[in-house]
Structure 1
Amino acid sequence: MTAFSSSRGRLALSAAAIALVAGVGGYGLAHLRKARPPAGAAAAENRKVLYWYDPMVPAQHFDKPGKSPFMDMQLVPRYEGEAVGAAAGVQIDPAAVQSLGVRLASVQRGEFAQSLDATGVLEFNQREVAIVQARAAGFVQRVYARAPGDVVRAGAPIADLLVPTWSGAQTEYLAVRRAGGPALEAAARQRLRLLGMPDSLIEAVARDGRPRTVVTISTPIGGAIQTLDVRQGMTVNMGQTLAQVSGLSTVWLNAAVPEAMAGQVRVGQTGRAELAAFPGQTFDGRVTAILPTTQTDSRTLTVRIELPNRGGRLRPGMFATVHLDGEARPALFVPSEAVIRTGKRAIVMVAGAGGRYQPIEVQLGREDGDRTEILAGLTEGQKVVASGQFLIDSEASLAGVEARRPNATPSAAAQPGLYESRGRIEALTVDSITLSHEPVPAINWPAMTMTFKLDPPGLSKGMKVGDRVSFGFEQRPSGPVVRRLVPAVAQ
């Protein structure tokens, strides 16, 4: 009972400490915002007070100053004109900005290539497989010291096969070779090939002048023996498989890519693999196939990457991490830390003149390391808050400042380098859209209906045929590609 009471006491003290820290944070921001009054502070003191409030419970208003009934702090006045609205944003005193450690970053345009990380397993290259068969019926006279799993070089012997039926055919060939002309000899030699004799054996018979009925079966490629079904003294039939060898000059890395990221992978894409067995080393390869089925349990698809295996160090069964590099192209981006993700939308705090900050709702694209692509909402050169934006966003909420949506001002959402237009959606697929659009004077396009590719493919999510949209596209060698797509603003 004593231990239980002690535990409850420690929990109560922890809860009180958390509440105290939260209260100090909320009060600190409200206090810092007024800690350094601007020029004309005397005039500001004459402003009309609308109400008093507790920064931790901003919805509750009081008609006179005093101590907050919720927290151990004084109520803060809200002056007339402080709630400046969504257009101007919220103003924060420079001293508060410095105390909060606010750091700004620029909205930039540059080469942007999205990388994708996935895990995979190394496997044998199934296109590099040799099946060793008996080319004639006979008896296994000798087997060499081989076993499944052995790594052999090309031409390594597997077994010696005695073929009694070859003796008569070789005797006839030797007789024709001695008495007949070149035409008859060529016909006899062809007959020996049809009986399954390799050219090397035929040459040995012609050179020695005596029949040879024992042939050595060897592997045509180097690699690992997968199966070995031959034993000394056994009888084999024509076409019977004696061994299977898988080459090791290249291996497959079968990577599991999430279904939601399938649109970022293409055949021919380069990739880098890292293995725990070789820390600090990377192995470069290329995507050779994207398998047509998706794993229903994990919702992933298999991407096959072919890796060179110099020295045979990469062994099937090893786990690897693969990094796939996307196509690099110009894009507008901000530091990923500047984006506030609320679940339903993404917000960036834009710094303006006079210490004002405006929350802007943005449309996000791809991610590349610590950078996030911006499809709509910002323009190149704007300053965004990269550190301390959560406290500024809280202050904006207290001031009643709403985040501006990307389609509220089309000129602000437009991206440099994109051709802008408006139109009506006529058809939609996963990665394309057909639009009846207005003229595009910048490239001398008249009004017409045409189909565009979408990048990323999910850009039209939530839209339907018949919707009016504002869009931005870029010209690529493969055709025009829509990079920005938002509902059109009613005129």
Structure 2
Amino acid sequence: MNTKKLLAGLSLIAAGIAMGWGVARWQAAPTSAQAAASVERKVLYWYDPMVPTQKFEKPGKSPFMDMALLPKYADEGGSTDAAGVSVSPQAIQSLGLRSASVEQKTIAASVDVVGTVLLNEREVSLVQARSAGFVERVYARAPGDVLAAGSPLVDLLLPEWVSAQGEFLAVKALQDATLTQAARQRLLLLGMPEALVAQVESSGLPQGRYTVTLPGGGLVAELMVRQGMTVSAGMSLARINGLASVWVDAALPETQSGLLQQGQMAELRLAAFPAEVFKARVIAVLPEASPETRTLRVRLELANPGLRFKPGMSGQVRLAGREQSALLLPSEAVIRTGKRALVYLVEGPGRFRPVDVQLGAEIGDKLVLLRGLNAGQQVVASAQFLIDSEASLQGVLPQQSVAAIPAASAPASAAVASFTVRGLIEALSATEMTLAHEAVPALQWPPMTMGFKLAKPRLAAGFKPGQPVRVAFIQRGDDYVITAVEGVSP
């Protein structure tokens, strides 16, 4: 009996020992796994969170702030190298991120601008008095009248012509052919028409009254003579503008002036004739651009049969270039910083890489891509503004050619934190934007309206008061300076 009790006790002791060993192993297993995970976790570099673009190879104290450097692990969200940035699926969904393809297409770059019909200033004629005299009669004419060639304008009495004609008739009576021819030539040099000299010669009577007629048909632009006036030799009586052809004046954005070639044909659609398309020829590109509108004036010539086209009419002019193959990407995909143009290339689900691109002409809502991407590649077409801000904070933007600054001597202002906020433009100039913006939690700002400086005047181009935008800004001294602007949906 005692033996049985002893064996039972030993069994219980053995079972307790086994259970304790198992519990100890179970408790130690997570600790060992955690330690292994900690050992295996790879540190890419150390950084100061206030200056995230500056990287350090070893831990230590930040040269910029009185704080320890933080490690950047390979398994953390965001960029795993200096070439790209990662965004979580939740962030992509909340941002409403869209992508678009770079397309290879055959294009004929064209631009539509507003044109105005003008008088052809090359078809102007002046009617002048050829000798001093008096106005006996002015025919019923007024500025704006359209007259045919040869229409009478005014009757003049010219005493000098009467005297010269009398001398001619006296010389002719001498029947000296040489003297007669010389006297006749003198009448022509005084400005008398050949028909009037022939009339004097045949009738034998001086003709002191002369009817001035229009040398060519057209519009009476100015009428400077009235009945009873005294006129002098060379005095202008009327200004006539021909109507056989008219000009069409258009203002073309200077960014698209490369399409222009003198002599090329353009299409014209006038509001007065909406069902018809007319052909006009580019005869001149004026050599001076408007500094206010940044446009060039283009002059086209248009034949005017039947005088259908009236000065002051307006219409749409389409200028087209030669067909060529080109890469196209959406205009909204491009972030312009003033110094360069940037797009975000989609490298995989939630992974994006900034790429510098060189752009050409704008065609509708597309931009011609000259360098940087290939056909078929996907780029971010919306919400890239926030991706750009994240890339700036992580220091993954493509670096421009600048001299390297040693980490130990880099000033605290080498990199400046950037903030992003949505708002409504209240006022806008080339140097400042007044924005009614949302709250900025990073700065503990409530929603308010305030003025921001613009880093570049060109940031204001294309925007107007009342437009909703998303802006990125930094603090520079006591000012807050906008470095990028993007239009957004209301």
1:246 aligns with 2:228: no
1:333 to 324, 327, 338: 327
Return 119-128 or 266-275, whichever deviates more: 266-275
1:237 CA displacement: 2.3
Match of 1:158 in 2: 153
2:126 to 131, 154, 158: 131
- Whichever residue aligns with residue 285 of structure 1, its letter is R
Match of 1:376 in 2: 371
Which consecutive residues of structure 2, in runs of 5 or more, have no partner in the other structure?
Answer: 1-36, 42-72, 402-490
- The alignment partner of 1:316 has SS state of coil
In structure 2, how many angstroms separate the alpha carbons of the residues matched to 1:312 and 1:254?
18
Match of 1:220 in 2: 215
Match of 1:303 in 2: 297
In structure 1, how many angstroms separate the alpha carbons of the residues matched to 2:398 and 2:295?
38
Mapping 1:7-406, distance limit 5 Å: 80=75, 105-108=101-104, 110=106, 113=109, 115=111, 117=113, 119=114, 121-174=116-169, 180=175, 183-257=178-252, 271-283=266-278, 284-292=280-288, 298-300=292-294, 303-310=297-304, 311-325=306-320, 328=322, 330=324, 332-336=326-330, 339-341=333-335, 343=337, 346-350=341-345, 358-379=353-374, 381-385=375-379, 402=396
In structure 1, how many angstroms separate the alpha carbons of the residues matched to 2:204 and 2:313?
53
- With over 3 angstroms needed to count, the CA separation of the structure-2 counterparts of 1:212 and 1:388, relative to structure 1, is same
- Whichever residue aligns with residue 115 of structure 1, its letter is V
- With over 3 angstroms needed to count, the CA separation of the structure-2 counterparts of 1:182 and 1:91, relative to structure 1, is farther
Which consecutive residues of structure 1, in runs of 5 or more, have no partner in the other structure?
Answer: 1-46, 51-77, 408-491
- The alignment partner of 2:196 has SS state of helix
- Quote the sequence identity (%): 35
- Whichever residue aligns with residue 131 of structure 1, its letter is L
CA RMSD of aligned residues (A): 4.8
- Whichever residue aligns with residue 133 of structure 1, its letter is Q
1:190 CA displacement: 0.8
- Whichever residue aligns with residue 160 of structure 1, its letter is D
In structure 2, how many angstroms separate the alpha carbons of the residues matched to 1:369 and 1:250?
32
- The alignment partner of 2:156 has SS state of strand
- The alignment partner of 2:121 has SS state of coil
1:305 CA displacement: 0.5
* 1:247-288 superposed Cα distances (whole Å, 9 cap, x missing partner): 223334444455676777665565545443343545523142
In structure 2, how many angstroms separate the alpha carbons of the residues matched to 1:165 and 1:394?
86
CA contact (8 A) 1:152 1:225 kept: yes
- Equivalent pairs counted in the alignment come to 328
1:153 CA displacement: 1.9
Look at both structures and tell me which one has the larger radius of gyration over its CA atoms.
Answer: 2
- With over 3 angstroms needed to count, the CA separation of the structure-2 counterparts of 1:394 and 1:174, relative to structure 1, is closer
In structure 1, how many angstroms separate the alpha carbons of the residues matched to 2:249 and 2:99?
42
In structure 2, how many angstroms separate the alpha carbons of the residues matched to 1:245 and 1:167?
28
CA contact (8 A) 2:283 2:300 kept: yes
In structure 2, how many angstroms separate the alpha carbons of the residues matched to 1:239 and 1:391?
70
In structure 1, how many angstroms separate the alpha carbons of the residues matched to 2:190 and 2:392?
93
1:192 CA displacement: 0.9
CA contact (8 A) 1:132 1:243 kept: yes
In structure 2, how many angstroms separate the alpha carbons of the residues matched to 1:347 and 1:302?
28
In structure 2, how many angstroms separate the alpha carbons of the residues matched to 1:214 and 1:398?
88
In structure 2, how many angstroms separate the alpha carbons of the residues matched to 1:268 and 1:215?
44
1:177 CA displacement: 5.3
- With over 3 angstroms needed to count, the CA separation of the structure-2 counterparts of 1:250 and 1:336, relative to structure 1, is farther
In structure 1, how many angstroms separate the alpha carbons of the residues matched to 2:282 and 2:335?
34
Match of 1:56 in 2: none
- The alignment partner of 1:335 has SS state of strand
1:244 CA displacement: 1.4
In structure 2, how many angstroms separate the alpha carbons of the residues matched to 1:347 and 1:245?
57
- With over 3 angstroms needed to count, the CA separation of the structure-2 counterparts of 1:131 and 1:122, relative to structure 1, is same
In structure 2, how many angstroms separate the alpha carbons of the residues matched to 1:350 and 1:112?
27
In structure 1, how many angstroms separate the alpha carbons of the residues matched to 2:330 and 2:180?
79
* 1:84-134 superposed Cα distances (whole Å, 9 cap, x missing partner): 6566876999xx99xx997754442655536373x4544333332211111
In structure 2, how many angstroms separate the alpha carbons of the residues matched to 1:388 and 1:290?
39
CA contact (8 A) 1:360 1:406 kept: no
1:198 CA displacement: 0.9
- The alignment partner of 1:200 has SS state of helix
In structure 2, how many angstroms separate the alpha carbons of the residues matched to 1:398 and 1:352?
18
- The alignment partner of 1:169 has SS state of helix
In structure 2, how many angstroms separate the alpha carbons of the residues matched to 1:114 and 1:79?
49
Return 223-232 or 130-139, whichever deviates more: 223-232
In structure 1, how many angstroms separate the alpha carbons of the residues matched to 2:208 and 2:392?
97
1:377 CA displacement: 0.9
1:387 CA displacement: 6.5
- Whichever residue aligns with residue 369 of structure 1, its letter is G
- Whichever residue aligns with residue 339 of structure 1, its letter is A
- The alignment partner of 2:328 has SS state of strand
In structure 1, how many angstroms separate the alpha carbons of the residues matched to 2:107 and 2:296?
28
- The alignment partner of 1:113 has SS state of strand
